[in-house]
Amino acid sequence: MKSASLVVVAFAAIEGIEGFLSTSLHRHRPSPGRDARAPSLSAASTEGPYALLFDCDGVIIETEQLHRLAYNAAFREFDLKIRNEPVEWSVKYYDVLQNTVGGGKNKMFFHFRNTTGTFPSSGDGGPVPTTPEEEQDLVDRLQARKTDLYKELIAEKAAARPGVLELMDQALADENIRVGVCSASTKAAVTKVLDVTLGSERRQKLDVCILGDDVSKLKPDPLIYVTAAERLNVDPARCVVIEDSIVGLKAAKGAGMRCIVTYTTSTENEDFYALGCDAKVPELGSKGVTLDMIFGPMKRDGPDAEILVGVKD
């Protein structure tokens, strides 16, 4: 099937995406160095802590095309074919998947069940799956191989997006701000990204890290962010999420949180404000975003105050 046709079919079959991952939740524990934090941004702020939660892919690091390359490499290794055509995701089609489906396995299930209407045959000796168990087995094996290939790409090309580490360090130094990462990607993939981009010392200071393996429903379901607020014991209205996609934005707003979108080339044309986005910027670094631009207004004027005044698109 041609990529243009795939895009049309995918847009027509958005509804009904469900999570397929396990429910073993990450346990929050005090992080090293937390008791050495600096005074909070506003001495007048007395009503409870705040939280700054980062998505990983597309926010901490622009990884979406690396994911696509890894999927296509796995598809080639398995010699996947549908109606004698190799399975391959184009840039345009992957953008559709990224903005409508949360989680890697879910993307494959969506593609095979909703877009193509059939699972592929594979040259590694596997016939077309005919039962849900066989479908799950193929997707599990593909995802495992894709993760290994992705980690190899990350080791070669990973670098944090401009301004991310600076903002994270400001938050980690503030005694009134809790900091976390909430990603629908697998623990193996995210751990590799965080090790390479944040470094072990900064990563260990995070107050919470909840990943796709830890929750039963993936973005756009709000469960991952609801869970983060519960773990941190922070009112969702005092949580600010940094996302890059409509899927992530819906999850954040569904949890009752503020959301800043740092869009990428894959998502720059999306109407994030129509879906409740609180602020949209191309990059944190290019706009000089600081912690005070985000939480200063909330602490002075309440959780619903306008944020990133003068810098958001």
43 touches 53 (CB < 8 A)? no
292 is catalytic: no
Q: Which of 55, 95, 207, 244 is catalytic?
A: 55
- Rounded to 5 degrees, φ, ψ at 248 are -70, -40
55 is catalytic: yes
- The gap from C-alpha 99 to its chain's centroid, in whole angstroms, comes to 11
Within 8 A by CB and 6+ apart from 193, the residues are 56, 57, 60, 61, 63, 154, 158, 185
Look up residue 38 and give its DSSP letter.
Answer: B
Rounded-to-integer distance, Cα 99 and Cα 270, Å: 9
Look up residue 124 and give its DSSP letter.
Answer: T
Nearest to 184 by CA among 228, 220, 148: 220
Q: Tell me the sheet residues that pair with 164.
A: none
Give the other-Cβ count within 10 Å of 35's Cβ.
8
Rounded-to-integer distance, Cα 296 and Cα 255, Å: 22
Within 8 A by CB and 6+ apart from 132, the residues are none
Nearest to 154 by CA among 185, 195, 187, 182: 195
Nearest to 288 by CA among 167, 180, 177: 167
SS3 6: helix
Joined tokens for residue 211: 């990943």
Catalytic (active-site) positions:
55, 57
